[in-house]
Amino acid sequence: MSGDLKQLQQKLQLAFQNKQLLKQAFTHASYVNEHRFSQHEDNERLEFLGDAVLELTVSEHLYRIFPDRPEGELTKLRAAIVCEPSLVKFAENLEFGKYVLLGKGEELTGGRTRPALLADVFESFVGALYLDQGLEAVTTFLHSQIFSQIMLDGKLQTTDYKTELQELTQHHNMGVLEYRIVEERGPAHEREFVSEVFMEGQGLGRGTGRSKKEAEQQAAAVALERLKQSEQKPL
């Protein structure tokens, strides 16, 4: 694994001073549970820290590049960047999944590609980088690896699926939308919500997320795809 992490650092043009921090960022709790007598630490505390660091750095970035946007718009833009689907995309683009230390059970059940796990690893990496090299290093990393992906011609490339679905159904007078949380699963630190969107009582799409809002966004995305495939006609 250490060789892999050396490769990752070269790819990202980073050099961690504390290699143990970097390793911890990619150590899942399932691995620690299977190696109880080792000195491994899982990445959950780093994930907690990385989440806060991301909120701050993304907020500052948006504040600077959109000087005329009101607080409400900036909040929506930030939410679109730090939501699970975006973090998963960032982690996938950087191939973070292949560096994670997993327990055998988690490995066998496809944990390496599980969205929630990938989003957590990305946050953990940010937390580790912050502890190792400070906020400036995190900002540099995000600018080179992340912000360049979501900015095009001065516009933020984000999608609010709920708003898009609402506009589509209203435009075609399809009916009233309703979102329901139909299931909650997983332990407290990895809670997953399942949301379903209904139109006039008929289910249109189902999605999952680490928060109710993320689950609703994913449900709306599924519903949008379904409506578009049916040529935007009521089902």
Output the CA torsion 183→187→192→193 (10° steps). 30
Is the pLDDT score of 234 beyond 50? no
Report the share of the chain in percent with pLDDT over 70: 89
Domain boundaries, the chain: 2-156, 161-229
Rounded to two decimals, the pTM is 0.66
Please report the pLDDT score of residue 232 as a whole number.
Answer: 44
pLDDT tens column, 137-174 = 999 999 888 886 665 444 555 556 788 898 889 988 88
Strands (E) located in 122-221: 151-152, 155-156, 177-185, 192-199, 202-209
Residue with tokens 């390793």: 23
* For residue 25, pLDDT beyond 90: yes
Summarised one tens digit per residue, pLDDT across range 36-83 is: 767 788 999 999 999 999 999 999 988 988 888 899 888 888 888 888
pLDDT at 3 over 70: no
SS3 assignment, position 15: coil
Domain 161-229: CATH architecture, name and number where available: 2-Layer Sandwich (3.30)
User: Could you give the residue numbers annotated as active site?
Assistant: 51, 123
Interior CA angle at 43 toward 149 and 31, to 5°? Answer: 115
Catalogue the E-assigned strands of 75-216: 151-152, 155-156, 177-185, 192-199, 202-209
Cα 105 to Cα 93: distance, rounded to the nearest angstrom: 25
Q: Is the pLDDT of residue 214 over 80?
A: no
**65-74 confidence digits (pLDDT tens):** 888 889 988 8
Domains 2-156 and 161-229 share a fold: no
Domain 2-156 has CATH 3.10.580.10: no
